[in-house]
Amino acid sequence: MSDTSEISWVRRLLTRPLYSGRIRYTPMRDLLRGRIGERLNWRARLDRAALSAPIADAIRRIVRRTRLWRIEKAEVADELIAHFSDGLTTGASVDDLLRDFGDERAAAKLIRRAKRRGRPLTWHAMKWTGRAFILLVILYAITFVRFLLSRPTVSVDYVAKLNAPILSTPVQDRAWPLYRQAMIAMELDGRYTRVGIKSETDARAGHPLDRFLDPDADHNTVGARQLIDATPSDAAWPQLEGWLTKHAEGIALLRAAADKPAMGFVVGKGGSQHDPELGWTSGGSDEYRGLASQTLLGVLLPHLNHMRAMAMILAADVRYARHHRDGARVVADLRAMIAMGRHNDLPLVVTRLVGIGIYRAAFDSLEETLANDPDLLSDRQLIEVAHDLSTIGGDTASSLIDLTAERMMFHDVVQRAYTDDGNGDGILTPEGARLLADVTAMTTLRGSAPPPSSETMLMAIGSAASLVSSRRDALAELDGALDLQERHYARPLREAGDNDDVDRLLDLRMREIRGNPVLLARHYLFSMMFPALTRAAWTAGTALGQREGLLVGIALELHRRRHGEYPATLEVLTPTLLPRVPADRITGAPVRYALTKGRPVIYSLGVDRDDDGGRAVVHPRDKRPSASFAAEWGKPDDSPRYDGDWILYDGRSQKVGH
């Protein structure tokens, strides 16, 4: 038989009315076994039962109302057919049978309930799973709608709060106006700012000190940084001298600014960050930062790099003054640098770190002066500088590092992202999701995967609204982490243990969050906003150590002048020239003192706790002596790379880089 004739035979067979009807009334399990019957055709059996019309109709109604599966209906119908047939056989009347049977609707309902109970376990499991799914969908829909309808309540103006002490300073006492005049007078490039560089054009704006380059030269062979660091023995020294001479007025303005009691840099839009004359316009940044520009997080501090650059200019001027034997100018510059460091007093980590950097520049300049020109400064001048030094910080890192503005930033973002239920709690809002997207864009490194758009973030947050931390939990997490840092800063580092412990804990926590999508959804705000505070305590601790070393160095110099030689021990200096011998910040014992080739060195034993007689560690990277490489807290480490001491003051003429 050919293929076409086989197909037509099968087609004829399947389309035969009787055959197609029987298949229709055969349960699937029977069909799969090849058993074709009419088990499901209970209507035909009802017809064949020849029951009276009222009974047959009642059976049809009851079976239909059960709304059961076809096979269950067939079973129920068969049972009812048998029941009424048996009843009629016993001689009962149709009316009696129907009356005794009871209410049809109730019967159908009870039969349906009972039959469904008897269904397979898998059916019940699927039923409950389906209900659970529907419940989840409803809960999700409610959560999502609640999320979409929520709005934040901004109750605190944190920018105003941060500006309050600044604005309370009389205008004539504010240093910033003079600093900006100094920048203009010295022709510093105001366009340079680390924050907000998004294009090569911005990057080409260059370093604030690019103006050092002589535009008239045939070619510039000396970079700005080399120029500013030039010493009298360098080839670039005459060029530096020329620049400093040309901009003496600007440098004088710088000293005048440093003499003011307060910085007076007004933060926020409309404040000092908007300065078209310096090339600081916030429009582009606002677009870049989106909603974040409305928060404290969006505050720009474009002056910080310039403060650092101006401190470098003063350091160069110290070398110039020293070269020309002008002690008064040296002291004026040193005191101005110390004041500049103090002017970076906004309670924000980045500002304080810039301030510490400026202090370190002053410390290095002073140390060079004492080492290379010990007789240049008079006793009175040394005492003036010592007095300024002693006002810098205190015993712990908390005297230099302040996290108040960081905390205010968090609270500001939270109040703009979350609702407020009046009890300190609330949920994330759509505006909050957009704000998080903008914060993400701000904190994402260039070259990394592009940050999610606001719409993507909105949908992601909305779909996981129940996963995201509540307002209370978000604040508790952020505040808790900051509290941990502040407690760490408030203790002497040798008591706090390994000064990386807190940093490491927080770093581990960040990795844990970022490595888990559920945790990331929940702790997104924390993961995006918590600042990188790694080594902030170390930076403060080493600066304070160097300051203490310098105070001892000054005392030693004064003693040498009075007695013709350096003392045998540091205790001799107390209490006249030194209130007390400072403690080694790593061991807690008094700092060490040694005379090398007749010149003093003050040092800490360093992390190896081994007295190397004031020998600095050779830095593993640049192979040069490093004064502070051995400054590590925690367990002693006598590995070769830490073989040496932490130099706090080096009175020897050879300069050691800090």
List Cβ neighbours of 577 (8 Å cut-off, separation of 6 or more).
Answer: 555, 558, 559
Question: Which one of the spans 111-119, 407-415, 476-484, 640-648 is the region binding another protein (CB under 8 A)?
Answer: 111-119
Among 115, 491, 509, 609, binds another protein (CB under 8 A): 115
State the minimum distance, in angstroms, from the CB of residue 22 to another protein.
18
DSSP 441-468: HHHSPTTSPPPPPHHHHHHHHHHTTTTS
Among 57, 69, 101, 140, binds another protein (CB under 8 A): 101
What angle, rounded to 10 degrees, do the helices at 237-246 and 248-258 form?
Answer: 70
Closer CB to another protein, 63 or 188, in the complex? 63
Asked if residues 374 and 324 have their Cβ atoms less than 8 Å apart, the reply is no
Tell me if 121 contacts another protein by CB under 8 A: no
Question: Which one of the spans 102-110, 214-222, 317-325, 423-431 is the region binding another protein (CB under 8 A)?
Answer: 102-110
Asked if residues 493 and 633 have their Cβ atoms less than 8 Å apart, the reply is yes
CA distance 603 to 591: 6
Closer CB to another protein, 67 or 487, in the complex? 67
Among 3, 100, 218, 622, binds another protein (CB under 8 A): 100
Among 118, 450, 575, 598, binds another protein (CB under 8 A): 118
Phi first, then psi, for residue 573 (nearest 5°) are: -75, -20
Among 65, 83, 191, 211, binds another protein (CB under 8 A): 83
Asked if residues 587 and 615 have their Cβ atoms less than 8 Å apart, the reply is no
One-letter amino acid for residue 352 of the chain: R
Residue showing tokens 């004829």: 12
Among 114, 328, 518, 532, binds another protein (CB under 8 A): 114
Question: Tokens in use for 254?
Answer: 């710088």
Tell me if 571 contacts another protein by CB under 8 A: no
Question: Which one of the spans 83-91, 292-300, 331-339, 649-657 is the region binding another protein (CB under 8 A)?
Answer: 83-91
Closer CB to another protein, 84 or 280, in the complex? 84
Chain residues 58-77 in contact with another protein, contact rule CB under 8 A: 76
Question: Which one of the spans 81-89, 265-273, 395-403, 619-627 is the region binding another protein (CB under 8 A)?
Answer: 81-89
One-letter amino acid for residue 26 of the chain: T
Question: Tokens in use for 196?
Answer: 């907000």
Tell me if 89 contacts another protein by CB under 8 A: yes
Chain residues 30-59 in contact with another protein, contact rule CB under 8 A: 49
Question: Which one of the spans 78-86, 277-285, 297-305, 497-505 is the region binding another protein (CB under 8 A)?
Answer: 78-86
Closer CB to another protein, 82 or 328, in the complex? 82
Closer CB to another protein, 92 or 520, in the complex? 92
Tell me if 95 contacts another protein by CB under 8 A: no
Tell me if 110 contacts another protein by CB under 8 A: yes
Tell me if 106 contacts another protein by CB under 8 A: yes
What burial letters (b/e) apply to 375-398, b meaning 16+ CB within 10 Å? ebbeeebbeebbebbeebbeebbb
List Cβ neighbours of 471 (8 Å cut-off, separation of 6 or more).
Answer: 414, 418, 419, 420, 424, 425, 426, 427
Question: Tokens in use for 512?
Answer: 């844990």
State the minimum distance, in angstroms, from the CB of residue 30 to another protein.
14
Asked if residues 295 and 341 have their Cβ atoms less than 8 Å apart, the reply is no
Closer CB to another protein, 79 or 455, in the complex? 79
Tell me if 472 contacts another protein by CB under 8 A: no
Beta bridge partners of 626: 617, 657
List Cβ neighbours of 374 (8 Å cut-off, separation of 6 or more).
Answer: 557, 560, 651
CA-CA-CA-CA dihedral for 489, 495, 496, 498, to nearest 10: 120
Parallel, antiparallel, or unpaired: how do β-strands 625-626 and 617-618 relate? antiparallel
State the minimum distance, in angstroms, from the CB of residue 123 to another protein.
12
Tell me if 104 contacts another protein by CB under 8 A: yes
Question: Tokens in use for 346?
Answer: 């906004």
Site size toward another protein (CB under 8 A) is 27
State the minimum distance, in angstroms, from the CB of residue 85 to another protein.
6
Question: Tokens in use for 181?
Answer: 């005049």
Burial of 301 (0-12, 13-18, 19+ CB in 10 A): buried
CA-CA-CA-CA dihedral for 474, 475, 481, 486, to nearest 10: 170
Pattern 397-436, another protein, x by CB under 8 A: ----------------------------------------
Burial of 526 (0-12, 13-18, 19+ CB in 10 A): buried
State the minimum distance, in angstroms, from the CB of residue 37 to another protein.
12
What angle, rounded to 10 degrees, do the helices at 454-463 and 121-149 form?
Answer: 130
Closer CB to another protein, 61 or 161, in the complex? 61
What angle, rounded to 10 degrees, do the helices at 349-372 and 536-563 form?
Answer: 30
Closer CB to another protein, 101 or 140, in the complex? 101
Closer CB to another protein, 79 or 565, in the complex? 79
State the minimum distance, in angstroms, from the CB of residue 111 to another protein.
5
CA–chain centroid gap for 117, Å, is 56
Asked if residues 150 and 427 have their Cβ atoms less than 8 Å apart, the reply is yes
Question: Which one of the spans 8-16, 27-35, 104-112, 232-240 is the region binding another protein (CB under 8 A)?
Answer: 104-112
Residue showing tokens 């830490």: 642
Closer CB to another protein, 106 or 568, in the complex? 106
Q: Which parts of 373-469 fold into alpha helices (H)?
A: 379-390, 404-417, 430-443, 454-463
Tell me if 96 contacts another protein by CB under 8 A: no
State the minimum distance, in angstroms, from the CB of residue 87 to another protein.
6
Pattern 187-226, another protein, x by CB under 8 A: ----------------------------------------
Question: Which one of the spans 97-105, 190-198, 227-235, 292-300 is the region binding another protein (CB under 8 A)?
Answer: 97-105
Closer CB to another protein, 1 or 106, in the complex? 106
Closer CB to another protein, 87 or 452, in the complex? 87
CA distance 65 to 70: 12
What does the binding site for another protein look like in residue numbers (CB under 8 A)?
49, 76, 78-83, 85-87, 89-90, 100-104, 106-107, 110-111, 113-115, 117-118
